[in-house]
Homo-oligomer: A and B are copies of this chain.
């Protein structure tokens, strides 16, 4: 049978459709008697407002898009897990998009491609987009950018202090007496900003300790995944002078690196200490457990949603702000050993 509409309810309750709408939307000036009549009719007919029609009428979709490069990367999955409830609490649905880090795809999204009317705003964690790409986007799209990007003032940006966090990680390795420290995950190109910040933190930590940096120990990888970590680590181990510690730019990289080390019969952390980045659940259960930098994901999610909704409902344009969530160092077995 056809779904009940506002009009059906109105008829049954003996009021105008507009009044039913008022009741449904919690409009203040409705007498208790009317409200009750209407509510009874609603219950009787099993009426549910048609979100589509509502959205069309008021020009809002009630959905926000969250765009990540890879859904199956634990860090993003965990972040999404936090974003969805935060958005729902504010009455928004989340539309998830994965781009595989494809610049074109990401570009189409921020220019509001074919599906542009489907969401009121977007939280994006760009991988392929450069700073420049971001500035030619559809400016009418409320946007919050996650991850390390310098903010150009037209959108909001939320992340953690990558330089400081990386410095913390490397200082931790140094404090354990490690001298030859490698880094896995540097990226030279325009879109590798996050990587570059981490590399800067790597240098800072050395400088702070008066330790020289062996540039050849900074390994570049195309992505931050396990396979890249494993490969890069293999290259390091093939050298005559392998490192005694490695700062990995993600926990996945760390996981791959550890895999390679153990495969070769070496020990973590006795032979080589490893620290990662992101604090994914995996690292708390792997063997050894992985020391890491833990960004406050809940805070990031919360901030991102709040900020986006503010942009959606508030008057445009608002100057973009840069918000930093907290992070902390979590030492585990991969640096401390089994205690």
Which of B77, B117, B230, B281 meets A51, CB within 8 Å? B117
Chain B residues whose C-beta falls within 8 Å of the C-beta of A81 in the assembled complex: 70-72, 98
Interface-lining segment among A203-211, A254-262, A306-314: A254-262
Size class of the contact patch on chain A: 35 or more
Are A115 and B93 in contact, with the CB atoms below 8 A?
A: yes
In the complex this chain forms, how many copies of it are found? 2
Which secondary structure dominates chain A's binding surface? helix
Given A51-B115, A117-B50, are A258 and B230 neighbors across the interface (CB < 8 Å)?
Answer: no
- Give chain A's interface residues, CB within 8 Å of chain B: 48-53, 55-56, 61, 70-72, 74, 77-78, 80-81, 84, 93-98, 112-118, 226, 230, 255-256, 258-259, 262-263, 281-282, 284-287, 338
Which of B52, B256, B281, B287 meets A117, CB within 8 Å? B52
Are B56 and A52 in contact, with the CB atoms below 8 A?
A: yes
Q: How far is the CB of A142 from chain B (nearest CB, A)?
A: 15
Chain B residues whose C-beta falls within 8 Å of the C-beta of A72 in the assembled complex: 74, 77-78, 80-81, 281
A114 vs B215: C-alpha distance in the bound complex, in angstroms? 57
A258 vs B286: C-alpha distance in the bound complex, in angstroms? 9
Given A48-B112, A52-B55, A71-B84, are A118 and B96 neighbors across the interface (CB < 8 Å)?
Answer: no
Q: How far is the CB of A106 from chain B (nearest CB, A)?
A: 15
Nearest residue (CB) in B for A333 is B263
Which of B52, B78, B96 meets A96, CB within 8 Å? B96
A117 vs B287: C-alpha distance in the bound complex, in angstroms? 47
Which of B51, B113, B226 meets A285, CB within 8 Å? B226
